[in-house]
Amino acid sequence: MDKAIPTLQKMDLHSIHGIERLEYMDGDFIIFETNGDTEFNHLVDYPTRPNAVIINMCIAGSCKVSINLKEWEISKNTLTVIAPDNILQNHGMTEDYHAYTIALSNNFYDGIFSRQTDVVPLLLYFNEHRNFMLTDEETQTLLDYYFLMYKKIKDDNNPYKRPIIQGLLTAMLFEFYNFYQQLASTLEIKPQSRKEEIFTQFIKALSKNYQNERTVASYADMLFLTPKHLSGVIKEVSGKTPGEWIDQRVILEAKALLKSSDMNIQQIAEQLHFTNQSFFGKYFRHHVGMSPKEYRRS
C-alpha cells in the first residue's frame, strides 16, 4: 500500500494556477501541456479529489493512473475524462509521455453543458469507460480546438475571451459526439428531458451530501419529489436505483479512506456519519464482502 496520508487531498483550480507552463483564466479554466514529468503530475501522487472536470488527450508515451481506485493506462490517442468528485492518483509515466490537458471549474462546466445538450448518456458512459481510443485524425481535430483555446486564453486584450473559450469547448463536445455517434445510439444530441434533468440534479446532490445523507427520502426532499417518483426516474435513466448510487458513492469514499489515509476505522465511521463503528462495519461487509480491517490489509 502507498504511504498513508492523513485524509484524502483536495485540489481546486485556484491552488494550482501558479504552476509553470500553465495558462489560467479567472479560477474557472486551466489549459496546459505535459511533456515528460511535470510539477502538476506530482500534485496527484497521492489520492486526490480535484474539484474540477479534467479532459486529457495523450499523444505519445503512456502513464498509469487510478480513477476511483481503479487503475487505468493512458496511451497515445487516448482521451480521458475525470469528473468532479472523482478520486485521482498518478502512478507514474514513461519518459516520452506527452499530453494536453484542460481543467474546468464546476461553474464553468455547468455554464456550458447544462444549457442545450443532453449530456446524461455521455456522463453515464464516462462513468464506466474512462478512456476513449481516438484515431490520429480524431485526435488532431480535438487538438485543433485545444490550440485555439490556448491562443485565446493568452489574449488579455480580448473582452470576449471567456465566451469564445466557452464556444470552442462546446464545439469540441459536439465533435466528440460526432466521433461516437455510432458507438451507442444513446449518444444523441437532443434537449435534456425532465427525467434526465432530475438525474443530473440527483447526482449533484449526492456528490455534496453523501457523507451526511444515505436515504432515498432525504434526496427526494432535496429535489421536492416523492421517494417513489425519484426511484422510478433514476432507475429508468441510469439502470440503477438511487439506493445503489448512494451505496456506491459511500463505499468508494470508505475504500479510499481505508487504503490511503491514516484515519482509524472509528474516525472513518464518524466522518461518514455512521452511528457507530459496528454499524459501519456491517454496512461495509454487506457491500464489499469483507470487514473494513480486512479490506485495509488486503
Look at residues 180, 203, 224 and tell me which one is the last residue of a structural domain. 180
Binned at pLDDT 50, 70 and 90, residue 287 comes out as very high
**Cα-atom radius of gyration of the chain, to the nearest Å?**
20
If you average pLDDT over each of 48-52, 65-69, 241-245, which comes out highest?
A: 241-245
Q: Is 17 in the same domain as 162?
A: yes
User: How far is the C-alpha of 296 from the C-alpha of 298, rounded, in Å?
Assistant: 6
Helix (H, G, I), strand (E, B) or coil at 210: coil
Of 180, 210, 243, the position where a domain reaches its end is 180
Measured in degrees and rounded to the nearest 5, phi and psi for residue 93 equal -145, 165
Q: Tell me, what's the pLDDT at 203? A: 86
- Contact residues for 278 (Cβ-Cβ < 8 A; gap 6+): none
Best-predicted range by mean pLDDT (81-90, 145-154, 248-257): 145-154
18: exposed, middle or buried (Cβ count in 10 Å: 0-12, 13-18, 19+): exposed
Identify whether residues 172 and 219 lie together within a single domain: no
pTM: 0.72
User: In this predicted structure, what is the pLDDT of residue 4?
Assistant: 45
Report the distance separating Cα 155 and Cα 281, nearest Å: 55
Please give the residue range of the domain that contains residue 166: 9-180
CA distances from 211 to 137, 189, 215, 298 (A): 44, 34, 11, 24
Is residue 12 predicted with pLDDT exceeding 90? no
Residue 188 lies in a domain: no
* Shared domain check, 93 and 200: no
Q: What pLDDT score was predicted for residue 184?
A: 53
Q: Output the CA–CA distances (angstroms, integers) from residue 214 to 36, 90, 193, 211, 250, in the order listed.
A: 42, 30, 26, 8, 8
Beta partners for residue 93, in sequence order: 63
Largest separation between any pair of C-alpha atoms in the chain = 60
Closest-CA residue to 78 (of 94, 95, 55, 96): 55
Residues 136 and 19 grouped into a single domain: yes
Confidence (pLDDT) at 116: 46
Contact status, residue 56 vs residue 98, Cβ threshold 8 Å: no
Name the band, by pLDDT with cuts 50, 70 and 90, for residue 70. Answer: confident
Alpha-carbon dihedral sign for residues 259, 263, 269, 271: negative
Q: State which of 180, 203, 228 marks the end of a domain.
A: 180
pLDDT given at position 46:
79
Structural domains of the chain, count: 2
Instruction: Judge whether 189 lies within some domain.
Output: no
- How large is the average pLDDT for residues 1-9? 50
Stretch among 18-27, 78-87, 252-261 having the lowest mean pLDDT:
18-27
pLDDT bracket for residue 189 (50, 70, 90): very low
Distance CA 24, CA 94 (A): 27
From 67-71, 139-143, 153-157, 278-282, the region with the lowest mean pLDDT: 67-71
Among 15, 10, 85, smallest CA distance to 54 is for: 85
Measured between alpha carbons, how far is 16 from 39 in angstroms, rounded to an integer? 10
Question: What's residue 117's pLDDT?
Answer: 45
51 and 23 fall within a common domain: yes
Same domain, 157 and 209: no
CATH of residue 236's domain is 1.10.10.60
pLDDT tens by residue, 31-61: 988 887 666 666 777 788 888 888 999 999 9
pLDDT at 233 over 50: yes
Question: Which residue is it, cell 499530453?
Answer: 99
292: left (phi over 0), alpha (psi -120 to 50) or beta: alpha
> What pLDDT, in 10s, does the model give residues 132-148?
889 999 999 999 999 99
93-130 pLDDT, tens digit per residue, is 999 999 999 998 877 877 776 554 455 555 656 666 67
Distances in whole angstroms, Cα of residue 177 to Cα of each of 111, 123, 138, 146: 19, 12, 12, 17
- Both 69 and 129 in one domain: the answer is yes
Query: CA torsion, points 136, 142, 145, 146, in degrees to nearest 10?
Result: -90
